[in-house]
Copies of this chain bind each other. A is one copy, B any other.
């Protein structure tokens, strides 16, 4: 009976979006809270989504010559401190190991908040000649940042991510890598997660601690807030110099390599939830759905229904699609709600009359549309239907982004937009950090990025009225 009730407990997203989000995370069994404050558990269904993200993204990294490594999780405080800006950025949110075995350590060790320092330390050790460059490294691991307030996937003391770290002979190559990886993330979000993004460069105020330049992709959630979905950083030779990473160049002199890093995290799952989810729960893009198709027998006690359903499941499975048949004794209504809650892209309904007519009904999770498909053609048609779900999700998300992206020339206009449903607001900007801070004070928004796709909205900065030639996109960020 408890199970019969379960689906009904989800909060309406229009009433309380934050509560709706937490409900989905827990009712779809993606996460559970751990008894350590601020930490979450990725449950099998949540982790399976992450596994799909990892598999697809990792293959993309490898196509462009990147290789995986594993760096130690603990960083000596002295090593972390070698680059001043980085340590200032991260030290306040580090978890510190101070005892090992039964002894007090002579030096505190930070649980990695990010691993630039470890990669540099390693490179200083192994890099000798330009022939070894570029080094294109990545690692999949978890990191800790001691956040005060936490939310599943979005802000958690421990989260899972990949961090790419590369070194190159020239600044141009490193900059090209930084852009290439940002584009890879953007393509991944659009094609795999069906989530449109705004690509751009972070302002000096918002960039990564220690970076020369930070690029980001920003996505719009259903509540019109912004979610920074991945970042890519260019470091110049700052870290190389701080950590003594050198090599003998083509001209036989000692040189410092140019460096990048780029990362994406389990936060992408939060982005997917808030981009595609609805009041029935999770809606998953097919490429990352642990179950792409669920087969539900209707009136399964009738002769032949279960057998035929199992046959259909096997045929779909053999085609390489991730499929599940729900042959439990729960009611059909319960099953419909359960698999909608879990966001399965396609639901196949198969009852006695369908079987008689050698057909089934396929329902799309993204828009509820139902089509009747001949059982002979089912397996061949599913990839196309899955693609339609992805396309449908992308179109809806793009419409949301477009409908809630505004251009403004006055600060009051920005404030009024944010007071009336919010969204992304494009304005010109003079480039002064003071105006950026002032915009936050006056309109409650922070700069998301300076989009690569620039537009000329006005001649002047809406804050100071001075000449402005950069367009910034503003929003309220997760």
Contacts and interface: CB of A to CB of B under 8 A. Distances in A.
Interface of A: 2, 32, 34-36, 39-44, 47-48, 50-51, 67-76, 79, 92-102, 108-109, 111, 118, 121-122, 125-126, 128, 137, 141-142, 144, 146, 148, 157-158, 160
A69 B43 contact: yes
A2 to B, nearest CB: 8
Contact of A100 (B99, B137, B146): B146
Contacts of A36: 72, 74-76, 109
A144 B109 CA distance: 13
Contacts of A102: 92
A237 to B, nearest CB: 21
Contacts of A75: 36
Contact of A98 (B41, B71, B98, B141): B98
A338 B67 CA distance: 20
Nearest to A99: B96
A94 to B, nearest CB: 7
Contact of A41 (B43, B51, B122, B157): B122
Contacts of A68: 44, 47-48, 51
12 contacts: A34-B71, A41-B72, A44-B137, A47-B67, A47-B69, A48-B67, A72-B158, A74-B144, A92-B102, A96-B98, A97-B97, A98-B98
A146 B32 CA distance: 29
A29 to B, nearest CB: 8
Given A72-B34, A72-B40, A158-B72, A95 B94 contact: no
A108 B92 CA distance: 18
A419 to B, nearest CB: 34
Contacts of A95: 74, 97, 99-100, 109
Nearest to A156: B72
A141 B70 CA distance: 11
Task: From A76, A101, A157, A160, name the one whose CB has the most chain B CB atoms within 10 angstroms.
Answer: A101
Contact of A125 (B32, B50, B108): B32
Contacts of A111: 73, 97, 111
Given A39-B74, A73-B158, A74-B95, A118 B48 contact: no
A47 B34 contact: no
A146 B41 CA distance: 25
A73 B144 contact: yes
A70 B146 contact: no
Contacts of A148: 101
A76 B75 CA distance: 21
Rank and list the top 4 A-B pairs by shortest CB-CB distance, nearest first. Answer: A101-B146, A39-B72, A44-B67, A42-B70
A160 B68 CA distance: 14
Contacts of A39: 72, 74
Given A32-B122, A41-B70, A50-B70, 10 more contacts: A32-B125, A34-B71, A34-B121, A34-B122, A42-B70, A43-B126, A74-B95, A92-B101, A96-B99, A99-B108
A267 to B, nearest CB: 14
